[in-house]
Structure 1
């Protein structure tokens, strides 16, 4: 339970009052899909509340604003840093130095505008009564974090993510990913498989691209993966409205 609360405290701004310890921090990634379900549930409540008052465009903007507030912009910050680094077209060491710089450049701002804009217009494009992509997007996005930590090397020896996942047995990783897939399938029905497969292909495209250029992943890369996958799930959700649900 402490590992779950640690994951909830790290990935959201929900006050849980748990003291973050090394062991619970290391094992917290297996709870990321569950935290994604919590985030998605909150977003659905916000969406239904705002949709009963405002037109679609305003509803989309308000929900995405709530999304950023709920997560503290954690992954959005990683997306911007990653875009600044990769968008600089420098050599590997210079890109990593740019990503570590606390200042945000033009490419980071553009990446944030594009991702947030796509999320808003996707929500504004939902059919009446639609909410399935909104609840599953954070789940699949946190599954991408889990897969990124497990499947790809971490670059920084003293980075925030350097100890994530240490000591977690193989079966626990698998159970966590299966849990996320089962929840998505239970919520989205046959359509959930399309969302999972589409997001999975996009995940490997993004992850391999970053590893090829950087030599591995960083905490910022994880954030970029989460934001990218969430956005892709929303896009696929709009494209597959009414399919197999």
Structure 2
């Protein structure tokens, strides 16, 4: 039952695909949901790959393909990750006091810092996808990094990473994933990126992409634990967006580095 309930929790939380609610939501269900996160991104990854391919076929301008790709990801995820990024940045910049920062994040309104973060991240992701239009294996790279970016979730929910507050999505999934499965999922996701980037030939950007994304994720988690006391649902969304941005910036340099 935990597998089915975990898959339903993952799809119902991370996508707009309509699914029946899980029968039981416990630590095992939460762990299964987070470990399943990369698989939930497969349909969106296919859509982004199609847009990059359309750019290669001159049916779309590269930047249009990139912007539409980011819009598709936002739509499929119900803006969940972007909203988390905005709220997290607003909370961290609003105050050095933990409770005040969490209160700002809970409010759900976008402040100046959150808006700037969204503009920068959406811009970087769009440009990164646009750059893949010029790469022979661009569609495969685009699909790989979208799927791999969701591997940030099991790592961020690994046992030992606390929840910032006792309620909310973060409290449900924080610390629920055993370390070994989390690392295995990350390695599989990294392998997908390496396959798409390196099989045509060695490239430093493709080789470093998952490593740089993991370092960026570790930095995000360190800041969240130090400033907020742990992760929240917003922090998890921010981790996904930061990971995707770093992956795109790295792989878009394939053939250039």
TM-score (structure 2 length as normaliser)? 0.83
From 91, 96, 99, give the equivalent of 1:93.
99
Partner of 1:197: 211
From 155, 178, 183, give the equivalent of 2:187.
178
Aligned-partner Cα distance in 2 for 1:195–1:11: 23
TM-superposition CA deviations, 1:94-113 (whole Å, max 9, x none): 11110111221111111111
Counterpart contact for 2:48–2:139, Cα < 8 Å? no
1:42 and 1:80, CA in 2 relative to 1: closer, same or farther beyond 3 A? Answer: same
Aligned-partner Cα distance in 2 for 1:170–1:212: 21
Counterpart contact for 2:52–2:130, Cα < 8 Å? no
Aligned-partner Cα distance in 1 for 2:139–2:193: 13
Counterpart contact for 2:86–2:110, Cα < 8 Å? yes
1:46 and 1:55, CA in 2 relative to 1: closer, same or farther beyond 3 A? Answer: closer
* 1:8 maps onto 2:16 in alignment: no
Deviation at 1:30? 1.2
From 134, 141, 149, give the equivalent of 1:141.
149
**Greater displacement, 167-176 / 201-210:** 167-176
**Greater displacement, 3-12 / 64-73:** 3-12
From 136, 158, 169, give the equivalent of 1:160.
169
Counterpart contact for 2:152–2:186, Cα < 8 Å? no
Q: How many residues align?
A: 242
1:165 and 1:101, CA in 2 relative to 1: closer, same or farther beyond 3 A? Answer: closer
Relative contact order (alpha carbons < 8 A, sep ≥ 6): 1 or 2 greater? 1
Partner of 2:230: 216
Q: Any runs of at least 4 consecutive aligned residues in structure 1 with deviations exceeding 4 A, and if so which? A: 165-171
Deviation at 1:166? 6.9
From 214, 217, 220, give the equivalent of 1:206.
220
- Note the residue ranges of structure 1 that are not aligned, 5 or more in a row: none
Aligned-partner Cα distance in 2 for 1:208–1:125: 31
- Note the residue ranges of structure 2 that are not aligned, 5 or more in a row: none
TM-score (structure 1 length as normaliser)? 0.87
